[in-house]
Chains A and B, each alone.
Chain A
Amino acid sequence: MKPIRTLLIANRGEIALRIIATCREMGIRTITLYSTHDAALPHRAAADQSVHLAGETLAETYLNMDAIIAIAKQTGADAIHPGYGFLSENAAFARKVVDAGLIFVGPPADVIAQMGDKITAREAALKAGIPLIPGYNGEKQDAKTLAEEAKKIGFPVIVKASAGGGGKGMRVVTHPEAFDEALAQAKGEAKNAFGDDRVFVEKYITQPRHIEVQVFSDCHGNHIHCFERECSIQRRHQKIIEESPSPALSPALREQICSTALNIASAIGYVGAGTVEFILDIDGAFYFLEMNTRLQVEHPVTEMVTGLDLVRMQIEVAEGKKLSVTQAGLKLRGHAIECRICAEDPDRQFMPATGTIEMVGHPTLRHVRLENGYIAGNAITTHYDPMLAKLIVWGETREIATDKLCQSLQDVVFAGIKTNRSYVQRILLHPCFISGETYTSFVVVHADALAVPPLSNAAQKLAIAAYLCAKPRYEAGAYHAAHHQIESIWLSSALAGFRNVS
């Protein structure tokens, strides 16, 4: 047992602030880091101490292992929390931190390495008896062998070029009779595109969902799961909306998928917070995808339905303490949904957006959490991830939580920069989202319905009226020009003219 008194957070933005919040509750001193671009960001001011990382590139700043460890030593930190992204799943960093005599808030380096490698992770899953997507990736390439393997896997199957990518040499086959022809086409395309006609055959998941299980382990061999999250609403493999519980799981299936995740955690001797990701098929079959050996972006969803503080648990486990909760003591209560607010323009192919944040807004409803890395006046540049914030709501039911999230996106608006705010609202109001028909293809299948709708007559009137309403004050130069001066603007003489408008 080694208590953590000072923690260095090797990250930025909202996750650095999230970790600081728990540290303040625990009486732990925090050190943050900031690059030159991030000097005005709140994660600098919110810490007990913040140290500048010189340089332009990520390699010089937030990925600079030696500089970060040196700062930890200089500032008297006992431990380093990597957050997510950046160095959080870098086994070499975890090793260096420990070698420097510091605690790494995360699993041991060899576990990170094992689960970080697709092949060794699959091997570990196989050994633990965890189902993988069935497939044939063997040397025998004759039509007869492949057709037999396809039958063993069970239709529908997908034939993919071994050298492939970009959809070339790829065929979905729904019936055994169609297999030979599809195989010939796939091989022909593969030969043309890659000069290599080898293919592999895999189970085709028609309506996949992304289901992940939060697991937690201490270094005394105790493992628990904190139920599942469904993160099927994704765009180009970037999650947009995450929720718990999944509308697709019956209590029996939940028990099955969560205990499967627990098996893998105990089989590899996991320590800390981890997430086991699965693909769930429409028939209830599920297959291991990968394990993330860190705190997830979407961890607040789990916190809202379990009442846990996952960052506190991470710190306690890193100190060598036993888990303070047992599996039997965990209850899944109500429903939580999170959305990621990103600086991007949904109306222009999701182009990353830049600019200055004019106003963030704050939640006004009960049980709404805003995890936000920025304040008014901060510049959004192209140097970092476009995710600005996460909005997480809890409600007694999924329907209540969905409504509250939609409403809260009228409170937290991130003015001054293009965001996916209204796009997320359109997803939340889509009948297939409401009915829980959430598959990973959602945003592609419903692309037309999710495009910005034409402005209704009533909405156009309202928009124009609001614009005209603020126009005189704006023309008088008084329209919330500087956010921190708002109070004085209301007392200023600029308002005098506003009363005389005809």
Chain B
Amino acid sequence: MTKELLIVIDTQSVSLSEIQRTPDKISGKIAGEPFSYLIVSEKDGWIVLQDEAGQQHRIYLSATDTKGRRTLMMPCHDVTICAASNQRKGSALASTTASSPMPGTVQSILVKVGASVKAGDTLAMMEAMKMQIAIPAPFDGIVAEICVAEGQQVPEATELVKIEKTHV
């Protein structure tokens, strides 16, 4: 394992250094601050670590998802972690289109090409899992293109409506 690593935890970038991994210990520095845990057990995704006060913590760590992230099932918090290099590409695209947040059916398109919209205006309605989901405009702009038809089934992250920014 490399000794230096840049990761993204939830939405925060964190730099790690001096990472040491032996069969029974993990240690290193998080933004310069040291940490050290004994590895008590690691099996089937369940990890038991012992902190310096002797307290043991049992957590499940998921396999990576399609976006290269892993989720830690911590108390009151599902923490996502990925290597900074794995961070989702294509965010530039997302800034000019409203995309489907999840797979579902396009119920209705509420805007026409040429219409001006304000950030948060509902562009379209989708239906998924018996729920109606409003697709908001990501910013102020003019509707440039409608990319889908009403009634169409779409996978996640499909471009629904393209918008041109009115002011930068």
Interface residues of A (CB under 8 A from B): 343, 348, 351-355, 358-359, 361, 381-386, 406, 410, 413, 415-416, 418, 421-422, 425-426, 429, 452-453, 455, 458-475, 479-481, 486, 490, 498-499, 501-502
Contact = CB atoms under 8 A, between A and B. Distances in A.
A468 B71 CA distance: 13
B112 interface: no
Interface string B22-39: 110010101000010101
B63 A352 contact: no
A460 B30 contact: yes
B22 A501 contact: yes
Interface in B1-46: 1, 5, 7, 9-10, 12, 14, 16, 19-23, 26, 28, 30, 35, 37, 39, 42-45
A453 B101 CA distance: 23
Contacts of A463: 9, 59, 72, 74, 79, 81
Contacts of A421: 73, 78
20 contacts: A351-B133, A352-B102, A352-B104, A355-B65, A359-B44, A386-B131, A422-B76, A455-B9, A455-B77, A455-B79, A462-B37, A462-B74, A463-B59, A463-B79, A467-B7, A468-B16, A468-B26, A470-B61, A472-B21, A473-B42
Given A354-B156, A416-B63, A467-B7, A459 B133 contact: no
Given A382-B102, A466-B61, 6 more contacts: A382-B129, A410-B73, A453-B76, A459-B79, A465-B26, A468-B5
Given A468-B1, A472-B21, A479-B63, A354 B103 contact: yes
Contacts of B62: 358-359, 415-416
B70 interface: yes
A463 B62 CA distance: 12
Contacts of B5: 468
Interface string B107-135: 00000000000000000000011110100
Nearest to B5: A468
The B interface is mostly helix, strand or loop, or mixed, namely strand
Interface of B: 1, 5, 7, 9-10, 12, 14, 16, 19-23, 26, 28, 30, 35, 37, 39, 42-45, 47, 49, 51, 57-65, 70-79, 81, 101-104, 128-131, 133, 156
Given A358-B63, A359-B60, A422-B76, A352 B42 contact: no
A464 B35 contact: yes
A251 B27 CA distance: 56
User: Which residue, A355, A466, A468, has most C-beta atoms of chain B within 10 A?
Assistant: A466
User: Which residue, A381, A421, A425, A461, has most C-beta atoms of chain B within 10 A?
Assistant: A461
A238 to B, nearest CB: 10
B104 A382 contact: yes
A307 B9 CA distance: 45
A462 B79 CA distance: 11
B73 A472 contact: no
A52 B16 CA distance: 53
A469 B76 contact: no
Given A382-B104, A426-B76, A455-B9, A464 B60 contact: no
A500 to B, nearest CB: 9
B30 to A, nearest CB: 6
Contacts of B128: 352, 354, 382
Given A382-B129, A413-B73, A469-B49, A354 B102 contact: yes
Nearest to B129: A352
A384 B129 contact: yes
B12 to A, nearest CB: 8
A468 B20 CA distance: 9
The 4 residue pairs across chains A and B that have the minimum distance between CB atoms: A382-B128, A352-B129, A413-B73, A415-B62
A469 B26 contact: yes
Nearest to B156: A354
A468 B156 contact: no
Contacts of A498: 23
User: Which residue, A353, A359, A486, has most C-beta atoms of chain B within 10 A?
Assistant: A359
Given A352-B102, A465-B49, A502-B21, A480 B26 contact: no
Contact of B71 (A415, A455, A490): A415
Contact of A415 (B39, B45, B47, B156): B45
B76 A481 contact: no
Contacts of B130: 385
Contacts of A361: 60
A12 B74 CA distance: 31
Given A455-B9, A481-B63, A468 B72 contact: no
Nearest to A466: B47
A33 B2 CA distance: 52
A455 B8 CA distance: 13
Given A382-B129, A464-B9, A480 B58 contact: no
Contacts of B37: 462, 465, 469
Contacts of A386: 129, 131
B42 A461 contact: no
A353 B102 contact: yes
A469 B72 contact: no
A3 to B, nearest CB: 37
B74 A459 contact: yes
A90 to B, nearest CB: 17
A86 to B, nearest CB: 12
